[in-house]
Chains A and B, each alone.
Chain A
């Protein structure tokens, strides 16, 4: 089964061979190639290059092309504030001073705003990986878009001026339908309707003022023969049921919702649930082992039907690569990772490890610490880079791979203080962690050691 088949099947509520994995690498994609958030959200070439790196390192079944909820608001005339390591924020709200409805002449066209760049990148990604990987087109949900246009007063309007909110939601729904047409036309397999603010209103308000919009959007996506997902952020515990009633194919939640409880509800509506790896405490600040353990605990706690494993939302820019690699490995090679973690806890100083005398080596010694270069994609690439260097320098250097799947190597990692995999050490010192060096950089580094 290809990743794409896996995503389509799971969103069709059918059985898959493995649990699908969808890393929400939006701005984080840029970090993989040293590009800023602004770079990848404004420059198609850099975005494409970064997405290809996500695809190479994280081996996703499905992946978003652009994770930016401000695209529509920008087209409609809202001013954005840009940042190097977060998506842009809406700075000015075009309906803030007066409760009006924007002109329908502003409805998105393929030539508007950043759409030419986005649609082109979608087409390039479709051509490059679209045969085997499901591509997600993310649109800003109509309620969050309404708040972008109106500002915080939208919340008061919901009580004081319901008719206005209905009219504004109706306009935002039209925007959504246009975006869906454009994204499907550029090859997207799944349309994700991302509406973080839904968690901030009561289920009753959602039903009264939002249900119709979302139901319209999901019915439209279905009529186009494409799959849909409803992304929410924050504590949406009370909203899950009313979200289900709008009939998306999937719902994606973050760590503020208990996925066991939420899945009971989504299962009762035969809707697929996605989530909910904690973004900050775990993916950004946790260790690789913390991430692996979390995923194993999750897949032990819930049934694997109608399930996609994904970060809670857009991954923070600076998530260490090895954490996402650890998540992927825990999903794909669960039993292997389970034994690694068990061994890690039991392996103590009882296994004697003699480290080389690094100060008296006669030639550069490259040690590669991997999860397992046969099953972990990033490890495979890293080992491939080392093999190429070995071929280049021949007997003038020594190389070795230590696979974490063996207890003795776990003991070695502990003794050397290796915390992230895969990593390359040269002469006992950490040189690259998760980042796979280019051949030129690698050669230059070894030449310096040889001199």
Chain B
């Protein structure tokens, strides 16, 4: 349907006003909110793939996410009324001692764009704060980011805190960031490492299956 394709395309161009207008038009035409949502998610998914392939960069992703949020705001009450549930709940944050959040923000946007509800704890997040957020939100996934070689070790502390609270079986653990590797994920007992934001969203969906 052209209207839905247009929503996806305008989102990819970061045109927030167009996305909002087209989303409203789709609502007015009586399309189901979940169907309109799919067009937003399709647009964000495409942006994610282009980002992964080095075809677009941080500014384009941020501006697309802004456009997506414009559409999502209009859809939110309708989705709730239709009983559309998010794909899953993700608690995300940059670990203690680390103030870098560009990567974490990109992952958050991609996960929202994949249909997740994301609880963003920000930067410099302590293990206790991660654990509390997992419990309070009944999270399915916890996603941790670190840019520094010295702070990536704090990911292990979060996993230990999760284990101590007896939550390990309830939550999947994902990690990422410039110095983080697959072997580091194995070493500290994380479930998944992903090298970029788009892969993080795809992997999160796989974990929910």
Residue positions of A touching B, CB distance < 8 A: 81, 83, 85-86, 89-91, 152, 155-156, 158-160, 200-202, 205, 233-235, 237-238, 279-281, 284, 316-318
Which residues of B sit under 8 angstroms from A280, Cβ to Cβ? 149, 179, 181
Best-buried of B63, B66, B97, B150 by chain A (most CB within 10 Å): B150
Whether B54 and A86, one on each chain, are in contact in the complex, defined by CB atoms closer than 8 angstroms, is: no
- Chain A residue with Cβ nearest B63: A159
A351 nearest CB across to chain B (Å): 32
Name which of B27-35, B36-44, B100-108, B160-168 contacts chain A. Answer: B100-108
Q: How far is B131's CA from A54's CA once the two chains are assembled, in angstroms?
A: 42
Whether B63 and A205, one on each chain, are in contact in the complex, defined by CB atoms closer than 8 angstroms, is: no
Instruction: Tell me the residues in window 27-70 of chain B with beta carbons closer than 8 Å to chain A beta carbons.
Output: 54, 56-60, 62-63, 66
Whether A279 and B149, one on each chain, are in contact in the complex, defined by CB atoms closer than 8 angstroms, is: yes
Whether A89 and B99, one on each chain, are in contact in the complex, defined by CB atoms closer than 8 angstroms, is: yes
Which residues of A sit under 8 angstroms from B151, Cβ to Cβ? 86
Counting residue pairs across A and B whose Cβ atoms lie within 8 Å, the total is: 63
Whether B54 and A237, one on each chain, are in contact in the complex, defined by CB atoms closer than 8 angstroms, is: yes
**B14 close to chain A: CB less than 8 A:** yes
Q: How far is B97's CA from A89's CA once the two chains are assembled, in angstroms?
A: 10
Whether B54 and A201, one on each chain, are in contact in the complex, defined by CB atoms closer than 8 angstroms, is: no
Residue positions of B touching A, CB distance < 8 A: 14, 54, 56-60, 62-63, 66, 97-102, 105, 148-151, 178-179, 181
Q: Nearest 3 pairs between A and B by C-beta? A: A280-B179, A316-B149, A89-B99
Which residues of A sit under 8 angstroms from B59, Cβ to Cβ? 155-156, 158-159, 201-202, 205
28 contacts between A and B (CB under 8 A): A81-B99, A83-B150, A85-B150, A86-B148, A86-B150, A89-B98, A89-B99, A90-B99, A91-B99, A152-B62, A152-B101, A155-B59, A156-B66, A159-B14, A159-B59, A200-B102, A201-B57, A202-B60, A205-B59, A233-B178, A234-B178, A235-B54, A237-B54, A280-B149, A316-B149, A317-B149, A318-B149, A318-B150
A255 nearest CB across to chain B (Å): 10
Q: How far is B16's CA from A148's CA once the two chains are assembled, in angstroms?
A: 27
Give which listed residue, A83, A89, A158, A160, contacts B100 with CB less than 8 A. A89
B137 nearest CB across to chain A (Å): 24
Which residues of B sit under 8 angstroms from A284, Cβ to Cβ? 149, 179
B196 nearest CB across to chain A (Å): 9
Q: How far is B99's CA from A155's CA once the two chains are assembled, in angstroms?
A: 17
Which residues of B sit under 8 angstroms from A233, Cβ to Cβ? 178
Which residues of A sit under 8 angstroms from B58, Cβ to Cβ? 155, 200-201
Given contacts A155-B62, A279-B179, 7 further A-B contacts (CB under 8 A): A155-B102, A160-B63, A200-B57, A201-B57, A202-B57, A205-B57, A233-B178
Whether A317 and B150, one on each chain, are in contact in the complex, defined by CB atoms closer than 8 angstroms, is: yes
Q: How far is B14's CA from A281's CA once the two chains are assembled, in angstroms?
A: 37
